[in-house]
């Protein structure tokens, strides 16, 4: 993922394991502070590399590691790129000694302040309820604006300060143009504009602001004519500007969010029809942040996927605004199959659920791919040793030799043919590479095929544009005279004919796409062709069939400019022009696979 997504991701949005000293959370969550910090430092360092220059990282944390989490985030991204914490009040519990904690944090940083100016805005909460209430008032009172105002004042009183609707309680007036609040109309510069303004009903000169009017007289008269000035009952009150709710629906991203943590749990339980997971994050809250971060048509990564809240939010947000956001989730626990994956399937099918059944079948066009990555246990389980009786006897009789041998020689040499350490010999048939894979949640293992094709695409950072169907062929050969051959050779083998044959000996699959020479730079695309084939025991036949298939049947020549790089498994005799100094255009998959797999060593 590092190779493909280097400097490609707009947002890393995640919920790492909290250091809560053991509360049933599926992750190990009783780290020592230093161990927890090391884990997060490792993850954040990797996240830094995949973020675009205008990228943002945000992750949740509670009070146990808030200070340390902030320090680690600042260490990786720089204190100058920290952009503030959001406090999520998610509880009203009162069951702890000293101070009962009722909130968590979302801490954030941008990769580069000069590339991300932070113009993050969000739509005010409760607008639908406010508009609906005023519609009711208008139906009841018509154009009696004062009566509507009195109804609005009474309606707002039901909401406590913690309710987002209370943030808009100053919008208590209405006219033909909409809901508004009377805003300050005084001038910013003392005494700049002074003139008489007449009350719209009494016709008398109104009280003037102490610092004078905000607008020149001509502008003021035009605003009064357009109904944009709010007058008091008589001339003794200073008039106000009308600031309309429809023109101020958005505000800067605010640092305090009120959202009962039980809402997310209830929503997830409604989707599955039973209690599924404790304390999932809130997808609606996630939507608000992903909107503010301006993630439309970009990639979002969550490397602590959990129950799939980030994917849930991305899908619903795309459903809402027709965005083309993509998500990547990484998860290691067995609830990947029981919660995360089915949750994504369900939210694609319908937005709303009750008792495990969809309320309305409003689906969205969507596809996702799941990849199972080799685990540490899988690697150990697939280590194999060379058989050597003399070695075993020597080691058994010499403890010092055994120690030195194990530390300095054992892993590097004796396990080289292990499947988990890349057994190049098995690349002869790319469909037959197998490993013993541990089943999640048990010690049971099963022999499973490994997708070398998909793995190689990721290792070289390939953006796939086309994966051709695999085709098998049978071949006819003949030998022809060739005067250019050495004296001890009279003829060369040619493939006279290739015929599509499901039972044929010769199998090919082509992958087309591109890599980026410069990470994040779409103008630096390297057009790439990958040719996978099954090799037989006759290398000469394999190579003439390859030439026939590629150059004659498909019309692809390594000398042409169609592709910048061509990868093939197994040795070959294709023409191979040199590009970029000493690099050849046609390259061995095995060599590239090995170099990419061990590039971090």
Q: DSSP letters along 344-375, please?
A: HHHHHH-S-EETTEESS-----------PPPP
Distance in angstroms (rounded) separating the CA atoms of residues 583 and 565: 10
3-state secondary structure of 510: strand
Q: Within 10 A of 159 (CB to CB), how many other CB atoms are there?
A: 16
How does pLDDT run across 517-554, given as a tens digit for each residue?
998 888 999 999 999 999 999 999 999 999 999 998 89
Distance in angstroms (rounded) separating the CA atoms of residues 535 and 305: 40
570: which residues sit within 8 A by CB, 6+ positions away? 427, 428, 533, 535, 539, 542, 588, 590
How does pLDDT run across 339-362, given as a tens digit for each residue?
999 999 999 999 999 999 999 888
pTM of the model: 0.85
Confidence grade of residue 105 (pLDDT, cut at 50, 70, 90): very high
Distance in angstroms (rounded) separating the CA atoms of residues 209 and 219: 17
Q: What is the mean pLDDT of residues 402-410?
A: 71
- Which ranges of 322-467 would DSSP assign to H, the alpha helix? 335, 341-349, 376-381, 389-396, 399-405, 452-459
Distance in angstroms (rounded) separating the CA atoms of residues 282 and 316: 12
Distance in angstroms (rounded) separating the CA atoms of residues 185 and 248: 17
Q: Contacts from 44-48 at CB under 8 Å and sequence distance 24+? A: 44/72, 44/73, 44/76, 44/77, 45/76, 46/2, 46/303, 47/12, 47/76, 47/301, 47/303, 48/76, 48/77, 48/111
CA-based nearest residue to 545, from 495, 472, 477 = 495
3-state secondary structure of 301: strand
Find which of 433-442, 503-512, 589-598 is predicted with most confidence, using mean pLDDT. Answer: 503-512
Q: Compute CA distances 205 → 6, 202, 221, 230, whole Å.
A: 67, 9, 14, 15
User: Are 378 and 435 spatial neighbours (Cβ–Cβ below 8 Å)?
Assistant: yes
Supply angle C-alpha 123, 128, 133, rounded to 5.
140
Copy the structure tokens of residue 274.
Answer: 């039973």
Q: What is the radius of gyration, based on Cα positions, of the chain?
A: 34
Q: Classify burial at 458, counting beta carbons within 10 Å of its beta carbon; exposed 0-12, middle 13-18, buried 19 or more.
A: middle
Q: Classify burial at 162, counting beta carbons within 10 Å of its beta carbon; exposed 0-12, middle 13-18, buried 19 or more.
A: exposed
The pLDDT of residue 33? 75
Q: Within 10 A of 398 (CB to CB), how many other CB atoms are there?
A: 12
Q: Within 10 A of 80 (CB to CB), how many other CB atoms are there?
A: 10
The pLDDT of residue 24? 43
CA-based nearest residue to 306, from 332, 284, 271 = 332
Distance in angstroms (rounded) separating the CA atoms of residues 300 and 80: 23
User: Are 163 and 230 spatial neighbours (Cβ–Cβ below 8 Å)?
Assistant: no
Confidence grade of residue 61 (pLDDT, cut at 50, 70, 90): very high
Copy the structure tokens of residue 109.
Answer: 């940083």
Q: Over 90: is that where the pLDDT of 271 sits? A: yes
Q: Between β-strands 463-467 and 256-258, what pairing exists: parallel, antiparallel or unpaired?
A: unpaired
How does pLDDT run across 459-487, given as a tens digit for each residue?
999 999 999 999 999 999 999 887 777 77
Pick from 38-47, 229-238, 420-429: least confident: 420-429
Confidence grade of residue 194 (pLDDT, cut at 50, 70, 90): very high
The pLDDT of residue 413? 65
Q: Within 10 A of 167 (CB to CB), how many other CB atoms are there?
A: 15
3-state secondary structure of 261: helix
User: Are 64 and 18 spatial neighbours (Cβ–Cβ below 8 Å)?
Assistant: yes
Supply angle C-alpha 44, 48, 50, rounded to 5.
120
How does pLDDT run across 319-346, given as a tens digit for each residue?
999 999 999 999 988 889 899 999 999 9
């Amino acid at each position: 993922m590092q190779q493909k997504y280097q400097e490609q991701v707009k947002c890393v949005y995640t919920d790492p394991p909290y250091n809560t000293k053991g509360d049933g959370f599926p992750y190990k969550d009783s780290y020592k502070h230093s161990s927890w910090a090391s884990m997060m430092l490792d993850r954040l360092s990797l996240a830094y590399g995949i973020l675009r220059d205008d990228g943002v990282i945000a992750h949740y944390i509670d009070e146990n590691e808030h200070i340390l989490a902030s320090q680690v985030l600042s260490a990786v991204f720089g204190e100058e790129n920290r952009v503030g914490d959001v406090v999520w009040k998610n509880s009203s519990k009162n069951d702890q000694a000293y101070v009962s904690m009722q909130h968590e944090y979302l801490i954030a940083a941008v990769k580069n302040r000069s590339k991300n100016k932070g113009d993050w805005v969000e739509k005010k909460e409760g607008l639908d309820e406010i508009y609906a209430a005023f519609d009711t008032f208008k139906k009841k009172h018509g154009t009696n604006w004062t009566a509507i105002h009195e109804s609005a004042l009474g309606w707002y009183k039901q909401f406590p300060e913690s309710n987002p609707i209370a943030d808009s309680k100053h919008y208590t007036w209405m006219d033909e143009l909409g809901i508004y609040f009377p805003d300050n109309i005084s001038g910013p510069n003392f005494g700049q504009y002074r003139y008489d303004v007449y009350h719209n009903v009494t016709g008398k000169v109104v009280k003037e602001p102490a610092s004078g009017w905000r607008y020149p007289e001509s502008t003021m008269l035009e605003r009064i004519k357009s109904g944009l000035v709010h007058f008091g009952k008589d001339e003794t009150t200073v008039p106000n500007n009308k600031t309309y709710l429809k023109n101020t629906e958005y505000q800067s991203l605010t640092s305090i969010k009120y959202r009962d943590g039980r809402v997310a749990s209830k929503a997830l339980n409604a989707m599955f029809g039973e209690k599924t997971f404790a304390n999932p994050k809130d997808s609606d809250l996630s939507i608000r942040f992903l909107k503010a971060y301006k993630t439309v048509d970009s990639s979002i990564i969550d490397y602590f996927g959990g129950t799939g809240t980030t994917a849930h939010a991305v899908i619903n947000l795309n459903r809402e605004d027709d965005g083309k956001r993509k998500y990547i989730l990484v998860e290691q626990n067995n609830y990947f199959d029981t919660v995360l994956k089915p949750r994504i399937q369900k939210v694609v099918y319908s937005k709303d659920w009750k008792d495990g059944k969809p309320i309305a079948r409003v689906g969205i066009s969507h596809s996702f791919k799941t990849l199972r990555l080799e685990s540490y246990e899988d690697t150990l389980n697939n280590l194999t040793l060379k058989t050597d009786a003399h070695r075993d006897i020597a080691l058994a009789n010499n403890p010092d030799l055994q120690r030195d041998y194990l530390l300095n020689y054992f892993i590097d040499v004796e396990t080289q043919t292990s499947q988990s350490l890349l057994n190049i010999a098995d690349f002869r048939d790319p469909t037959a590479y197998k490993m013993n894979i541990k089943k999640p949640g048990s010690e049971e293992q099963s022999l499973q095929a490994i997708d070398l094709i998909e793995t190689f695409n990721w290792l070289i950072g390939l953006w796939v544009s086309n994966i051709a169907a695999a085709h098998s062929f049978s071949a006819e050969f003949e030998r022809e005279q060739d005067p250019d051959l050495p004296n001890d050779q009279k003829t060369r083998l040619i493939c006279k004919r290739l015929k599509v044959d499901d039972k044929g000996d010769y199998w090919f699959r082509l992958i087309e796409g591109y890599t980026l020479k410069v990470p994040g730079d779409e103008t630096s695309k390297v057009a790439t062709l990958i040719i996978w084939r099954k090799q037989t025991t006759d290398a000469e036949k394999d190579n003439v069939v390859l030439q026939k298939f590629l150059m004659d049947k498909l019309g692809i020549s390594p000398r042409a400019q169609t592709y910048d790089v061509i990868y093939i498994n197994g040795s070959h005799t294709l023409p191979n022009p040199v590009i970029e100094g000493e690099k050849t255009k046609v390259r061995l998959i095995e060599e590239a696979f090995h170099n990419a797999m061990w590039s971090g060593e």
